[in-house]
Structure 1
Amino acid sequence: MSGIHGDHDLGHTVAGWTGTCVALVGFILSGAAMIAAWPIGFWLGLGALALAALVTWVLHLNGWGKPSGPRPPAEYHWRTRDRAAAQGHPDCWGCRLAGRGRRSPERAAEATNHTRTAGASSTTEIGFPTAGGAPVAQVH
């Protein structure tokens, strides 16, 4: 990657750009409706904002977002899919709302067995603390 930002992961993703564009339309619609004293337009704009959050979340869950933190340089392009989205990202509220992310030891073992039988080339196990303080294996 070249340019003013050098070799930094700026987090540009399909989910991020789509959500931003839909939210921008919602803000513009709500603002114009307030100036024009059009209450229905104001509420339509707020509905577009809610739609932006929903669209961004669905795209993130389908692999068009990214986990927290920097990605490897090979995945900087904004149209690169996130292969770890199916298992959920640790510390991601969106993944937790969808039932992904932190798992019990039984669910982590199921995911490990499923990933290995699916022919994945490699997995990385990272321990995350649970309520009891014991680490739980997380597969990415």
Structure 2
Amino acid sequence: MAHSHGHTPAAWTGSIIAFVGFCVASAFVVLAQPVGVIAGLVVIGAGAVIGGIMRAAGMGQSKSPGLTAEQAQAHKLAHEQAHRPVAGKAHS
């Protein structure tokens, strides 16, 4: 099952806008200008909103349907078998 790990237009756009907002807010913290800090925080929020809107418009990663009950049980069984201790062998 391949995933894009968030490499979508919505994720990139939201992250870049939020990063710019973080840089603006940080610069104004250093300059001791509260209005600039608030403006930077607004830009960060705008990045989240814009990224969410883009995702809703279909430019984000689609949700995985998840595992069925049978797939989950098979996965659990395989995991238990792979990690079962071998009798008579010292665990290092």
Which structure 2 residues correspond to residues 111-130 of structure 1 after superposition, within 5 A?
Answer: none
Question: Which residue of 2 is the match for residue 30 of structure 1?
Answer: 25
Provide structure 1 residue ranges, at least 5 long, that are not aligned to the other structure. 1-6, 70-89, 91-126, 128-140
Instruction: Pick the aligned partner of 2:43 from 48, 56, 69.
Output: 48
Secondary structure of the residue that 1:24 maps to in structure 2?
A: helix
Larger Rg, first or second structure (1 or 2):
2
RMSD: 2.6
TM-score, with normalisation over the residues of structure 1?
0.43
Aligned-residue sequence identity (percent) comes to 34
Alpha-carbon distance, 1:8 to partner: 5.9
Deviations along 1:70-121, whole A, 9 cap, x unmatched? xxxxxxxxxxxxxxxxxxxx7xxxxxxxxxxxxxxxxxxxxxxxxxxxxxxx
TM-score, with normalisation over the residues of structure 2?
0.64
Determine which structure has the larger helix proportion and give its number.
Answer: 2
Instruction: Pick the aligned partner of 1:60 from 55, 60, 66.
Output: 55
Opposite residue 52 of structure 1, the aligned amino acid is G
Aligned pair count? 67
